[in-house]
Chains A and B, each alone.
Chain A
Amino acid sequence: MSLRSPMGRVLGLGTAKGGSHHWWMQRVTSVALLLLTLWFAASLLHFATFDYAVLIEWIGKPVNAVLLSLLIGTSTYHSLLGVQVVIEDYVVGKLLKTVVMMLLSFVHAAVAALGIFAVLCIAFGVAA
């Protein structure tokens, strides 16, 4: 039997509160993406020749602009969660791991911002 206090034994072993957050958000985003991506895939089938005017009109509709923004936001978040696990598994060294993870977070944030901004520009009829 250890003489260490229960607190002493768990200190430094990681959080007890947020341990499942990553896993859970991966599930939440995956269920959201199941719906959003199937909507998007089904929508793509209606465009036939992918004409500029048809697409602009489609994204211009509020429902489509909102769903498309949600799709971009959710998929970049889901992507970052997935990429994080890959980095944790294969990148060796704490510093390198942290730097790579930070850079990829920036890239994901930039991709999300650019995508949503593009959708909003089209929706509001503003030239980008």
Chain B
Amino acid sequence: MSTGTSSSAGSKHVRPLSPFMMYRWQYSNTLSILNRITGILLSIGLLLLVYWLIALASGADAYAKARTLLTSPLGYAVLSGFTFSFFYHLLNGVRHLVWDVGYGFEKSTARKSGWLVFLGSIVVTLFFWFLVYNTRGAA
């Protein structure tokens, strides 16, 4: 992505501008930046996954501490955000793969798949936690 200025001395041509300088805010770039943000959150979440595994490998006492931390209100909040990030990044990733194969570029289709991804990730996240809550109750 290159940022150019149109007023450099002696230049006859208007040089291209970076997208963020010329486009109005709309659904497509919101979904795009959300993909990047959730990706970064998932990268941080990887630290959490590895912390959990190290705690498990370190024995029952260390794991009990990690479990208490992760099942605290803050722990649940972080895990919920992580779950939403995961499902959003996953569904939008599939959307990208479909584009890569060459389908879904029509404006109306892209808009529909965008809504599907966004609402779908909220629904799947809620459903996942419902299942977690249910198995917990059954055990």
Give the interface segment out of B8-16, B22-30, B90-98, B109-117. Answer: B90-98
Distance between Cα atoms of A31 and B138 in the complex (Å): 33
Check B135–A41 contact: CB distance below 8 A. no
**Most chain B Cβ neighbours within 10 Å, of A30, A38, A68:** A30
- Nearest CB of B to A68, in Å: 8
Interface range, A side = 35 or more
In this complex, how many residues of chain B approach chain A with their Cβ under 8 Å: the count is 34
For B59, the chain A residues whose CB sits under 8 A away are 127-128
Task: Output the nearest chain A residue to B128 by Cβ-Cβ distance.
Answer: A41
For A68, the chain B residues whose CB sits under 8 A away are 53
Check A59–B46 contact: CB distance below 8 A. no
For B1, the chain A residues whose CB sits under 8 A away are 89
Check A48–B63 contact: CB distance below 8 A. no
Query: Does B131 have its Cβ within 8 Å of any Cβ on chain A?
Result: yes
Check A83–B40 contact: CB distance below 8 A. yes
**Most chain B Cβ neighbours within 10 Å, of A44, A52, A59:** A52
